Amino acid sequence: MLIDTHAHLNDKRFDEDLDDVLERALLADVQTIVNVGYDLESSRRAIALAEDFDFLYAAVCLHPHDSRELDKHLLQQFRELCAHPRVVAVGETGLDFHYDNSPREDQRRAFAEFIHLAGEVGLPLIVHDRDAHADCLAILDKESAPGQRVVFHCFSGNADFARECVARGYVLGVAGLVTFPKEQRLPQAVQAVGLANLVVETDCPYLAPQTHRGKRNEPSYIIATLAKVAELTGVSYDDCAAATTATARGLYGI
């Protein structure tokens, strides 16, 4: 029984065949999917999907790309969405210093606001971190509450950064990137921290694993990522599935 801890089935690329995508997910034993919002519309769409399908859950937030748009009114709208019973996390939020689609100070400000919101409503935080490892940790160190649940989605750091995150009690989300033949840092990070600190995700429709490279990603493809994590951590596929599922359930309270 698998959990895709980070998907975007609220993306328009799933509009025409969502039922087929969900059927393939269930056939692959993916029995829980967390759909993650990246703006107000996609967050509402994630909630609507969770209302329609009892194995789907929602996370709500504003992506770092659009941090410049965050004001008190918009933050209040996200706060109200967090009260919905199908919402299990605040995210994705964080920093993206690769594209810098919003000024970095706006990104830092929005990240701090959503850290506070997650603490206020008692939900875990889904962190987007691209080329901003040190800044993400510094803001979390300053702004997060003791014991706050945090997952670094689509983890992209090295083994040392992975150890720093795990030392703080954070969970690492492993996506299809770990299956890419030329990728070295993520496999090393996975081995450095061990299975107990990991969950698996697709980040679909992005980052399809090597077995489906170049295609639209979907939750059923998570089995390739899980198989690679099992190989790297030296356990069976079933034991890897059980461990990552248990960690995901604890993280999201599902």
Residue 114 has pLDDT above 90, yes or no: yes
CA torsion angle 200 25 202 11 (round to 10): -140
What's the number of CA atoms in the CB half-sphere (13 Å) around residue 168? Answer: 23
CATH code at position 158 = 3.20.20.140
As a whole number, the mean pLDDT across the chain is 98
Cβ pair 172, 130 in contact under 8 A = no
Q: Count structural domains, the chain.
A: 1
Q: Which DSSP helix (H) or strand (E) runs through 137?
A: helix 133-143
Radius of gyration of the chain from Cα atoms?
A: 17
Q: Model confidence over 219-233: pLDDT tens digits?
A: 999 999 999 999 999
CB atoms within 10 A of CB 212: 15
Record the tokens describing residue 202, joined without a space. Answer: 């697709």
What's the CA gap between 221 and 7, in Å, rounded? 11
| Rounded-to-integer distance, Cα 104 and Cα 95, Å | 8
d(CA 165, CA 97): 19
**Above pLDDT 70, what percent of the chain?**
100
Q: Which of 5, 3, 37, 20 is nearest to 216 (CA)?
A: 20
DSSP assigned state of 29: T
Q: What is the pTM of this model?
A: 0.97
pLDDT of residue 118: 98
pLDDT at 1: 87
pLDDT digits (tens, 9 = 90+) for 131-169: 999 999 999 999 999 999 999 999 999 999 999 999 999
Mean of pLDDT values over 178-203: 97
Q: Domain range holding 68?
A: 2-252
